């Protein structure tokens, strides 16, 4: 199969007369070196990250290690909150929002720490004398092998540098070769934009040691060390005080090992130097070829699970930056496939078991004090990072996220108690490697005690895909403790029987009736999050057969959550009162959480809410920051409007011209940097991950009682195929092909067995002995149960537009664990 694929590519290469390097479509490539960081190419193994510039005369490799964070173990709760809480609530319930916000600023927001920044380790430079004048330049990142290559000629010699970050061997490897022997000459040095010790060991090893920085009132105390060992074939290697010099070598291999003193969020007493040395010595014992082979095998174990084909046009003959630039005007569906796979590449490279979860920049950051500290913003960004993990068949990448949630559920118990006198655990809108739980940045942004409620959805989602009860049992105490917090924190909303979160915000937005004050109570997103948290906890308890009394208690509170409300313009209300402004184009679309990632809003079951949610999204408009536009791709997919989703894809694949990745700009409207990093601006990786999830969501949905195949196919993708996506209930879409916009072939593998319900706009028939029944009633598969949503409150029915749905066929098929089922167009 692979051979046929390569043959096809090869003939394409011949027909189009492409440069030979395009032997795979999954390459990001350029014909010049990177000048700016957002042109450099990212590699990573979850723990170590590097940005490779590929400059012939002065190679620059910016280095990261995922535990190099400023500060040290600390907490950031503000215990004054407890006394002020009743007054804040009183102010909110009497409409004094500004006064409430002022009081929260004085009494709730952390005084000692707004969270610590993730910091760069520093840079490795390799200067090659005489390489200023080069020809035939080419550099690439191959998504099939996770290797970057730089190639160019100087005076008749072809030089090549290959860089990769190995997970099995925990080092970054840089290999330099030349087409003639004895031609490799360079000097290696290191620096960091803060004081560090740089020394050499023996004649071939460079060592950089440092301590992370201070921030707010917290002193930096994470020690780290980077060791670079250079092995050559032929030539001479020598050292100065702070550099290594290689003369006349045939081949040079650099082993880059980095470690820190971080053990966990409350212990930073490891020996960074010893750790780095252990990794290094282990790698040095293996030969280069073996390290390379193991790296490729390890990476492909994840990456090869999914392949996608949306069509190929001759745009592929252009370098990636040109393709991004021409995307909106041209016809380059393969670039969408490349961006989709780039998101998967980034997740595999930034989130591996045993490491930290992907932060705002994954693991790639060149600064000491990056925008928003490159930490974890949990009112959308961290969650979005993990949207593609299950559906694009990378479940293992969730492990660091789950570990972080586990740790936050420990640290957050004290926050709940000290700040609110409440049970369980709480997290506000941000956290960092120290697992801070207190509110930061100011009441307007930080007074949102819902971080735990949202993160817990990911614990449940993993179960929905793998059906593993042991796993569910292991995370149940975390979910239960999150519920316990809300059971003791909710208060009655005046004039109603409703129980609400108060104080809170609809993330980072304020209604136009009290601009500047976001503080309120019972916002729609909070209610939706609690609805999910409570229903899933009840379900988990039932599956695990425990906690009967607790279930009754949770169920009573669940019944008293406010329903969703449809306001005066036919919109889904963002707040508990009808305060929405149709001109509000805020980037957060928090109240639409109910439509994506949650499944509370459905065209089939809650048509009025569906209509209202869609109206709200139309009001919000398309242009926004990167992550916001990528959220909207997912939302338009859920609204079954592939063409609108495609419009946002086009808006998003737009070359960002201002390559300033250090400053925050809310007005520039997203876009894509030359290296395919998503622009907020600045670079924020959530947009890349949201994009990947969005493409999957356009092709397969499994949130609404069935596996919906091609739910939101845009007209532009007439023919195509995808292999390896996952659906809830342990199903794998082994293959799905479509022609003229209709499913032509579908192969579903069932890992857990049970009823497989398929929704399709195309009439299907089953192959072989399988019988495909027209579905009746509810889907008996427990992973496809739909929660009972409360009837919405509607203030003005006349403003609802009504929805028109294309007819779909719904089939059931009984599956056995391990069975594969083949369908085709009838
Ligand atoms: C939230 C968003 C911003 C940004 C930041 C990291 O505050 O509102 O747009 O993404 O997180």
Task: Record the tokens describing residue 771, joined without a space.
Answer: 């019988």
Q: In 66-204, which ranges are E strands?
A: 122-127, 135-142, 147-154, 157-166, 171-178, 184-191, 197-201
20 vs 362 pLDDT, higher one: 362
Residue 395 DSSP one-character state: G
Tell me how far the alpha carbon of residue 376 lies from the centroid of ligand 1, in angstroms.
10
C-beta 684 within 6 A of ligand 1: yes
- Residues 572/564, Cβ–Cβ less than 8 Å: yes
Task: Record the tokens describing residue 50, joined without a space.
Answer: 């590097």
pLDDT of residue 446 exceeding 90, the answer is yes
Mean pLDDT of the chain: 96
Tell me how far the alpha carbon of residue 678 lies from the centroid of ligand 1, in angstroms.
14
C-beta 142 within 6 A of ligand 1: no
Q: Which residues pair with 492 in a beta bridge?
A: 499
C-beta 381 within 6 A of ligand 1: yes
C-beta 587 within 6 A of ligand 1: yes
Q: Buried b / exposed e across 709-739, counting CB within 10 Å, b at 16+?
A: bbbbbbebbeebbbbbbbbbbbbbbebbbbe
Tell me how far the alpha carbon of residue 684 lies from the centroid of ligand 1, in angstroms.
9
Tell me how far the alpha carbon of residue 664 lies from the centroid of ligand 1, in angstroms.
10
Tell me how far the alpha carbon of residue 377 lies from the centroid of ligand 1, in angstroms.
7
In tens, the pLDDT along 548-595 reads 999 999 999 999 999 999 999 999 999 999 999 999 999 999 999 999
In tens, the pLDDT along 358-394 reads 999 999 999 999 999 999 999 999 999 999 999 999 9
Tell me how far the alpha carbon of residue 360 lies from the centroid of ligand 1, in angstroms.
9
pLDDT level of residue 23 (50, 70, 90 thresholds): low
- Rounded (5°) CA angle 114-117-121: 165
Helix/strand number for the chain, H first, E second? 19, 34
Say how many Å lie between the first and final Cα of the chain, rounded: 26
Task: Kindly report which listed range (7-11, 20-24, 104-108) carries the lowest average pLDDT score.
Answer: 7-11
Is 197 exposed, middle or buried, given 0-12, 13-18 or 19+ CB atoms closer than 10 A? Answer: exposed
CA distances to 390, 730, 735, 820 from 816, in Å? 21, 11, 18, 9
Whether omega for the bond prior to residue 605 falls within 30 degrees of 0, making it cis, is no
- Rounded (5°) CA angle 63-67-71: 110
The length of the chain in residues reads: 826
d(CA 519, CA 508): 9
pLDDT at 21: 40
C-beta 508 within 6 A of ligand 1: yes
C-beta 418 within 6 A of ligand 1: no
pLDDT level of residue 15 (50, 70, 90 thresholds): very low
In tens, the pLDDT along 182-204 reads 999 999 999 999 999 999 999 99
CA nearest ligand 1 atom 10, residue: 381
- Residues 163/173, Cβ–Cβ less than 8 Å: yes
CA nearest ligand 1 atom 1, residue: 377
Closest atom of ligand 1 relative to the 588 alpha carbon: 8
Average pLDDT estimate for 454-460: 98
pLDDT at 669: 85
Share of the chain above pLDDT 70, in %: 97
C-beta 432 within 6 A of ligand 1: no
- Residues 756/739, Cβ–Cβ less than 8 Å: no
In tens, the pLDDT along 95-117 reads 999 999 999 999 999 999 999 99
In tens, the pLDDT along 774-783 reads 999 999 999 9
pLDDT level of residue 658 (50, 70, 90 thresholds): confident
pLDDT of residue 262 exceeding 80, the answer is yes
C-beta 429 within 6 A of ligand 1: no
> Which of 370, 374, 381 most suits a substitution to test ligand 1, by most atoms within 8 Å of the C-beta?
381
> Which of 384, 429, 508, 686 most suits a substitution to test ligand 1, by most atoms within 8 Å of the C-beta?
508
Average pLDDT estimate for 396-418: 98
């Amino acid at each position: 199969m692979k051979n046929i694929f390569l043959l096809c590519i090869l003939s394409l290469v011949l027909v189009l007369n492409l440069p030979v390097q395009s032997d795979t479509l999954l390459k990001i490539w350029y014909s010049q070196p990177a000048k700016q960081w957002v042109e450099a190419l990212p590699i990573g193994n979850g723990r170590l990250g590097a940005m490779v510039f590929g400059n012939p005369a002065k190679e620059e490799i910016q280095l990261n290690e995922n535990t190099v964070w400023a500060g040290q173990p600390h907490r950031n709760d503000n215990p004054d909150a407890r006394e002020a809480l009743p007054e804040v609530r009183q102010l909110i319930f009497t409409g004094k929002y500004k006064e409430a916000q002022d009081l929260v600023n004085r009494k709730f927001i952390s005084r000692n720490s707004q969270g610590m920044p993730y910091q760069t380790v520093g840079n490795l430079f390799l200067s090659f004398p005489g390489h200023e004048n080069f020809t035939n330049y080419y550099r690439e990142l191959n998504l099939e092998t996770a290797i970057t290559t730089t190639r160019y000629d100087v005076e008749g010699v072809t030089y090549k540098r290959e860089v990769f970050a190995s997970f099995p061997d925990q080092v970054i490897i840089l290999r330099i070769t030349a087409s003639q022997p004895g031609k490799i000459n360079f000097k290696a040095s290191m620096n960091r934009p803060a004081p560090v010790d740089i020394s050499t060991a023996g004649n071939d090893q460079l060592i950089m040691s440092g301590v992370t920085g201070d921030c707010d009132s917290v002193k930096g105390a994470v020690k780290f060390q980077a060791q670079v060992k250079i092995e050559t074939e032929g030539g001479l290697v020598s050292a100065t005080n702070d550099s290594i010099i290689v003369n006349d070598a045939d081949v040079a291999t650099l082993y880059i090992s980095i470690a820190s003193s971080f053990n966990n969020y409350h212990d930073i007493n490891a020996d960074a130097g010893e750790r780095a040395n252990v990794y290094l010595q282990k790698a040095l014992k293996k030969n280069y070829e073996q390290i390379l082979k193991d790296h490729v095998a390890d990476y492909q174990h994840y990456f090869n699970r999914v392949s996608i084909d949306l069509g190929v046009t001759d745009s592929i003959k252009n370098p990636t930056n040109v393709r991004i630039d021409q995307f909106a005007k041209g016809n380059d569906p393969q670039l969408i496939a490349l961006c989709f796979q780039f998101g998967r590449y980034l997740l595999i490279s930034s989130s591996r078991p045993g490491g930290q979860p992907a932060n705002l920049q994954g693991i790639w950051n060149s600064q000491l004090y990056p925008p928003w500290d490159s930490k974890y913003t949990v009112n959308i960004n961290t969650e979005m990072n993990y949207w593609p993990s299950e559906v694009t068949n990378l479940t293992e990448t969730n492990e660091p996220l789950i570990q972080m949630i586990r740790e936050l559920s420990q640290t957050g118990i004290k926050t709940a108690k000290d700040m609110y006198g409440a049970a369980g655990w709480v997290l506000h809108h941000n956290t960092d490697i120290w697992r801070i739980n207190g509110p930061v940045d100011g009441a307007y942004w930080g007074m949102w005690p819902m971080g735990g409620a949202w993160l817990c959805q990911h614990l449940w989602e993993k179960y929905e895909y793998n059906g593993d009860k042991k796993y569910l049992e292991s995370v149940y105490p975390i979910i239960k403790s999150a519920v316990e917090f809300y059971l003791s924190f909710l208060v009655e909303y005046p004039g109603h029987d409703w129980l609400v979160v108060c104080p809170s915000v609809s993330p980072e937005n304020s209604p136009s009736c009290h601009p500047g004050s976001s503080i309120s109570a019972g916002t729609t997103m909070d209610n939706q999050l609690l609805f999910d948290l409570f229903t899933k906890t009840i379900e988990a308890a039932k599956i695990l057969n425990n906690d009967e009394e607790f279930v009754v208690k949770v169920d009573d509170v669940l019944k008293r959550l406010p329903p969703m409300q449809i306001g005066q313009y036919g919109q889904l209300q963002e707040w508990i009162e009808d305060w929405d402004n149709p001109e509000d184009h805020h980037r957060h679309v928090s109240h639409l959480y109910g439509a994506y990632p949650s499944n509370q809003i459905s065209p089939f079951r809650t048509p009025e809410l569906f209509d209202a949610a869609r109206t709200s999204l139309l009001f919000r408009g398309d242009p926004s920051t990167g992550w916001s536009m990528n959220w909207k791709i997912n939302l338009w997919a859920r609204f079954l409007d592939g063409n609108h989703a495609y419009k946002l894809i086009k808006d998003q694949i737009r070359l960002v011209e201002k390559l300033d990745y250090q400053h925050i700009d809310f007005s520039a409207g997203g876009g894509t940097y030359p290296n395919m990093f998503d622009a907020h601006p600045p670079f924020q990786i959530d947009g890349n991950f949201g994009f990947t999830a969005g493409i999957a969501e356009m092709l397969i949905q499994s949130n609404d009682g069935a596996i919906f195949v091609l739910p939101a196919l845009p007209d532009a993708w007439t023919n195509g195929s995808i292999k390896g996506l996952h659906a809830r209930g342990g199903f794998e879409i082994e293959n799905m092909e479509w022609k003229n916009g209709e499913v032509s072939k579908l192969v579903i593998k069932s890992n857990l067995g049970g009823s497989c319900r398929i929704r399709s706009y195309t009439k299907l028939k089953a192959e072989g002995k399988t019988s495909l029944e027209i579905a009746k009633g509810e889907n008996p598969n427990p992973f496809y149960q739909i929660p009972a949503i409360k009837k919405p409150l509607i203030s003005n029915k006349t403003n609802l537009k009504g929805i028109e749905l294309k007819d779909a066929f719904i089939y059931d098929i009984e599956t056995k664990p391990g069975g594969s089922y083949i369908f085709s167009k009838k």
